[in-house]
Chains A and B, each alone.
Chain A
Amino acid sequence: MNFLQVLIDNLRKGPATEPFPFGDASTPAAYRGRVAIDQDACVGCRMCEHVCAGGAIRFAEDNEALHLVIWHNTCVSCGLCAVYCPTKAITLTNNWHVSHRQEDKYKQVDHVTIPYSACTSCGVVFLKAQDPLMQLAYKTVGANETRLRDLCPDCRRVESSRGARP
């Protein structure tokens, strides 16, 4: 009568098959799925583009902003970008919904915009150090650091060395 016990146990446990894609899939947290980028935490350092094995992350710039573009259809989910991202803006999620129809092939793109700002002294447009980077670089962000970060690299050099003896 052992088989009856097995039968009852199996009925109680339910099917072994996961209901995905029609339901949720249980996945260990360390598994690497679709890349997600936090728009607010990205500082535009381009490290992810440098380490990207599949060439999925590209940067482009125009007069007003720096653009990070990732095409998921050439991402190998190696996770190098997440490891090297200084502000941890890039994470690999457990999202497995990566299948799509052919007409959506070139829509599998995420886009992050990091706006340029104008130097408060000379007006040159440059990539300002974003808040997450300031918190990473300084223990406390004081008035002096805040003033200096609004200056372009050239003006910052002049401003920093002011007061030094000739």
Chain B
Amino acid sequence: MNFISKAAKKSPWIYRINAGSCNGCDVELATTACIPRYDIERLGCQYCGSPRHADIILITGPITVGVKDKLLRVYEQVPDPKVTVAVGICPISGGVFRESYAIAGPLDQFVPVDVNIAGCPPRPQAIIEGLAMAIDIWASRA
């Protein structure tokens, strides 16, 4: 068991939540994962299909009023220790939707954010750099 927990430290699983995003950031996340030129699996990361398996949560979108409760419900299902990453300027500051009546964000009002990846959408390079930071934080918590 010791060996397994040591080996698992090198491969955090990532989980993606779209909280009202325009899909731009989600496309960039898919690009980062699927194109060999960027390739996040070299950092040990892999997307997983269930929040219960996740170690690092990537949240995109400006947290619309309708999706806020659902986001928090999914967020609760991710086991500790977890690292939260805000992808794109929408969850960080609200972006172009800032001060809109339909926006409940920014994200750090509701959940503790650890890493911000700025950009609209962020380039794959920025996402990889942010994930590298998130993995450092996660390794220090695990």
Contacts and interface: CB of A to CB of B under 8 A. Distances in A.
Q: Which 8 A-B pairs have the closest CB atoms?
A: A99-B130, A21-B129, A76-B120, A74-B93, A96-B125, A98-B118, A20-B125, A99-B129
B133 interface: yes
Nearest to B84: A102
B114 A25 contact: no
B117 A99 contact: yes
A101 B120 contact: no
Interface residues of A, number: 28
A100 B115 contact: yes
B132 interface: yes
Interface residues of B, number: 33
Most chain B Cβ neighbours within 10 Å, of A71, A75, A105, A108: A105
Interface string A54-73: 11000000000000000111
Interface string B33-77: 000111100100000000000000000000000000000000000
A76 B114 CA distance: 21
Interface of B: 36-39, 42, 89, 92-96, 98, 108, 112-120, 122-123, 125-130, 132-133, 137
A164 to B, nearest CB: 50
Interface in A76-105: 76-78, 96-102, 105
Nearest to B108: A102
Given A17-B36, A17-B39, A74-B98, 16 more contacts: A16-B36, A18-B38, A20-B129, A21-B128, A21-B129, A73-B92, A74-B95, A75-B120, A96-B123, A99-B115, A99-B118, A100-B133, A101-B137, A102-B108, A105-B108, A108-B118
B94 A20 contact: no
